[in-house]
Amino acid sequence: EVQLVESGGGLVQPGRSLRLSCAASGFTFENYAMHWVRQAPGRGLEWVSGISSNSNSRAYVDSVKARFTISRDNAKNSLYLQMNSLRPEDTALYYCAKGPYFHNSGYLDSWGQGTLVTVSS
């Protein structure tokens, strides 16, 4: 059974940094692309970033480009999101999600339960 467990969220002041982690199990992590998707309180889903299985391809939504960096450690079955220069509008529940292929296109076939990031002074 696929399991994705996010961690690292919390309350942070605007302009500060936070690093999210996602621990994966139940599948061969190194074979699949991974993504981060966020959901602001009471709002819909927004794709944030995706990374291919070998880290060669990374993509971001425009609103986080140059501030967020996605990475992965296949030896540790882990996905990360380094978030810098955080803004109040980054406040959301951040989900880790698995893609169906090695490349980072496609749908999202498994999701974690999310970690909450709150950006406020």
Which positions lie near other proteins, rule CB under 8 A?
35, 37, 44-47, 50, 59-62, 95, 100, 105-114
Q: How far is the CB of 53 from other proteins (least distance, A)?
A: 16
6-32 as b/e: b if 16+ CB within 10 A: bebbeebeeeeebebbbbbeebebeeb
Contacts (Cβ under 8 Å, ≥6 apart) of 23: 3, 4, 5, 7, 77, 78
The backbone torsions φ and ψ at residue 63, rounded to the nearest 5 degrees and listed phi first, read -70, -15
Closest CB to other proteins among residues 62, 75: 62
Residue among 102 and 111 whose Cβ is closer to other proteins: 111
CB of 104 to other proteins, least distance (A): 8
Task: Compare residues 13 and 54 and give the one whose CB is closer to other proteins.
Answer: 54
Minimum CB distance to other proteins, residue 110 (Å)? 8
